[in-house]
Amino acid sequence: MARRSRAPWRLLASTLALTLVLAACGGDDDDGGSASEDTGGGGEELSGTIRVDGSSTVTPLISLAAEDFQNENPGVQVPVGTSGTGGGFEKFCNGETDISMASRPIKDEETQACEGNGIEPLELIVANDGLSVVVNPENDWAECLTVEQLKKVWEPGSTINNWNQIDPSFPDQALTLYGAGSDSGTFDYFTEAIVGEEGATRTDYNPSEDDNVTVQGVSGDKGAMGYFGLSYLLENEGSVKGVEIDGGNGCVAPTVETVQSGEYTPLSRPLFVYTKPEAAQRPEVKAFLEFYLENQETITEEALFVPLTEEQLATAREELAAIEGA
């Protein structure tokens, strides 16, 4: 019995050892994917970890940049989290990240929280984004909506539940609403731009952090209205239809051009990343931000955002250069 009894322990031990060995092997593989264009990057090998977190709207942009940048610089690790703009700033101001992605400018109280921890947030524009108000493709009445009409639909306490309440010329069709969940930058932006106060909205709609849920909801219901980023409209053209918006100067369709020119008001906005001097002075962080600006046109287009204009790009480059000097 005593002799036999050792065997189980050997087996347990070897199971544990195997787990460890398997785990330890993980570090050896670091072949990422296939090639990417060769830009920037001098001779010296960059290394280090660039921690990024923040807006899920900006994530696709920075993920693409991170992926290509890491292929060129295998020594650098760029984990990109998605805690939302507010969650990202919380980590950033806590000193836990180097770059914070934001779909809106930083708020005063967030700046104060950062400064309380000795962190100076520095803003860089990375892309333009447009919010689109979408309806079902079979909806042939709502070609253009005014901001005033949208406000009546979405403001807190609104009781509008039929299209003919928005405009008497619209048919008698029940209205169902889809929109962003309250944690997203899209929600903050839409409520501020349409209702006039950030976070103010009626509550009897179908909220989701996942814009895809809105696409499915709106495409399946003739009387539905929803809102999300222009990229989702472009990706799902056919299942949903974008509505023209009249912000006071006539109806403007949600397109790349109108967003870039700023004509599409009030639902177009710039997107940002925030960094801090201590981070931006690190060679790998600086190289990453330069890499982004260098490739912003292909990255924004691949991620279905609207690229920076020449002017915006020049300003961003100046700001980045100014940080280096600091």
- Report in angstroms the alpha-carbon separations of 28 from 21, 24, 25: 12, 8, 6
Based on the shown chain and the rule CB under 8 A, indicate whether residue 82 belongs to the binding site for another protein: yes
- Report in angstroms the alpha-carbon separations of 287 from 37, 161, 277: 15, 52, 14
Residues 110 and 239: their CA atoms lie apart, in Å, by 38
Q: For 213-255, what is the HEC assignment?
A: HHHHHHHCCCCEEEEEEHHHHHHCECCEEECEEECCCCEECCC
Query: The tokens 């993980």 sit on which residue?
Result: 26
| # chain residues binding another protein, by CB under 8 A | 55
Q: At what angle do helices 310-325 and 283-302 cross, to 10 degrees?
A: 170
The interface region with another protein, picked from 18-26, 111-119, 167-175, 290-298 by CB under 8 A, is: 18-26
Based on the shown chain and the rule CB under 8 A, indicate whether residue 14 belongs to the binding site for another protein: no
The least CB distance from residue 119 to another protein, in Å, is 15
Among 46, 64, 180, 271, binds another protein (CB under 8 A): 64
Shorter beta-carbon distance to another protein: residue 39 or 94: 94
**Within 35-54, which residues bind another protein (CB under 8 A)?**
49, 51, 53
The least CB distance from residue 141 to another protein, in Å, is 27
Strands 268-275 and 99-102: antiparallel
Among 81, 88, 179, 242, binds another protein (CB under 8 A): 81
Binding residues for another protein, rule: CB under 8 A, are 1-2, 4-9, 11-12, 15-16, 19-20, 22-23, 26-34, 49, 51, 53, 59-60, 63-64, 66-67, 70, 77-83, 94, 96, 209-212, 215, 231-232, 235-236, 302-303
